[in-house]
Amino acid sequence: MTSAAPALSAHELTKVIGRRTIVDRVSFDLFPGEVFGFLGPNGAGKTTTIRMLVGLIRPTEGAVTICGHDIRHQFEEAMRCVGCIVETPDLYRFMTGRENLEHFARMLGVKSSETDRVADRVGMLHRLDQRVGTYSLGMRQRLGIAQALLGRPRVMILDEPANGLDPAGIREMRELIRGLAADGMSIFVSSHLLAEIELMCDRVAIIHHGQILRAGTVRNLIASQRAMEFHVGDVDRAGSVFTQRGVAFEKDHDRLFAAIDEADAAPLIAELVRNDVEVFSARPRLQTLEEMFLDATGGESVD
């Protein structure tokens, strides 16, 4: 996958407002057919980064390339490859869904029959002739995605698409996004909902205070956080055994956690047993993305 040219690439994006650095040297590549998660707490700089990706604000430093076009110098060519929702799916409330889609179809110069195709893709055909002002948030999200699909872009940028949706809506949104990726589209999704990112993304980057703290595939990120959990009778004695063998650990009630592989656990258990420590269980503990996220961000939000 990484051998293909990236559909979108951000290079050292930085935004300084006044004295505050809101986004700090953020770089990443988005490859064809992948869903890339951009994870961060409120105020981390996700929306600001997205605004720079689509040319709404000018980066203080850095550049964005979409489908090989620099958005500064080849804005029209670059934007022809992108569909996006920034922050909230705002469309013209005083017009119907169809009129909204036709409005943006005219901007792209695509046929107005495209509106039916994209509306169908998000399951909105039946409400298309009602005013957007009467839509629920979930429907506006879907209409926003329909709009973004006009002109068959190769890249889709969605800012918190699950925001404000009910569980069924979130699930539909996830299936829709995975479906689009299966069609070969590259999708950039920002979220502070870990469960979402974990379920639908191939790769994630964790952003905090405007900086990317970690990035990688979801599996690798989780795997890098592997630990063994020991449930023992006497934690103090077990602790001294660990110390003798030079294994770092953490104590929590009647459990010990050590950052070791499963394979290295067996001799340790044997040693514990030799020292008359009861071992009730020993199991690998996969840290969820959530734990890792809290770990990486220190569990605080900015705002």
Partner 1 sequence: MLNLIHNETLKLLRRRRFAVVIGILVAILAIVSYGQYRQLKNQVNRNWRADTQQRIAHFENNLRRANTNASWARSLRAEINRLQFYLDHDIEPNKPTAPMFVRGFANVAGFLLLPLLVSVLGSDIVSAEHAEGTDKLLMTRPVRRWKILTSKLATLWIFSTLTLFSGGVLAFVISSPFLPARGWAAPTFSGFATTGTFRPELVRQLPLWKDALIAYGLEWYALLTVASIALLLSVVFRSSAGAIGTMLASLIAGTILTRLSPDWTAAKYLFVSALPLADYYTGEPPPYDGMTMAFCITLLGVWAIAAIIAAYAIFTRKDVFG
Ligand X SMILES: Nc1ncnc2c1ncn2[C@@H]1O[C@H](COP(=O)(O)OP(=O)(O)OP(=O)(O)O)[C@@H](O)[C@H]1O
Q: Under the rule (CB under 5 A), what is the footprint of Mg ion?
A: 47
Q: Indicate the residue among 9 and 88 with the shorter CB distance to Mg ion.
A: 88
142 contact, one of ligand X, partner 1, Mg ion, none, CB 5-8 Å limit per kind: none
- Read off the amino acid at residue 86: V
If 0-12 CB within 10 Å is exposed, 13-18 middle and 19+ buried, where does residue 124 land? Answer: buried
**CA 273/CA 267 separation, integer angstroms:** 10
- How many Å apart are CA 190 and CA 196, to the nearest integer? 10
Residue 72 has a CB neighbour count (10 Å cut-off) of: 13
Minimum separation from the CB atom of position 27 to ligand X (A): 17
Identify whether the C-beta of residue 77 lies closer than 8 Å to the C-beta of residue 21.
Answer: no
Footprint of partner 1 (CB under 8 A): 47, 51, 54-58, 75-80, 82, 84, 86-88, 90-95, 99, 103-104, 106-109, 147
**Smaller CB separation from Mg ion, 45 or 97:** 45
Q: How far is the CB of 265 from partner 1 (least distance, A)?
A: 50
Regarding 142 and contact with ligand X (CB under 6 A), the answer is: no
- Residues contacting 234, CB < 8 A, separation 6+: 277, 278
* Shortest Å distance, C-beta 103 to partner 1: 5
Q: Is 44 in the site for ligand X (CB under 6 A)?
A: yes
Choose between 49 and 115: whose C-beta lies nearer to Mg ion. Answer: 49
**How many CB atoms lie under 10 A from the CB of residue 107?**
10
Amino acid letter for position 205: A
Name the binder of 163 from Mg ion, partner 1, ligand X, none, CB < 5-8 A by kind: none
Residues that bind ligand X (CB under 6 A): 17, 22, 40, 42-48, 192, 302-303
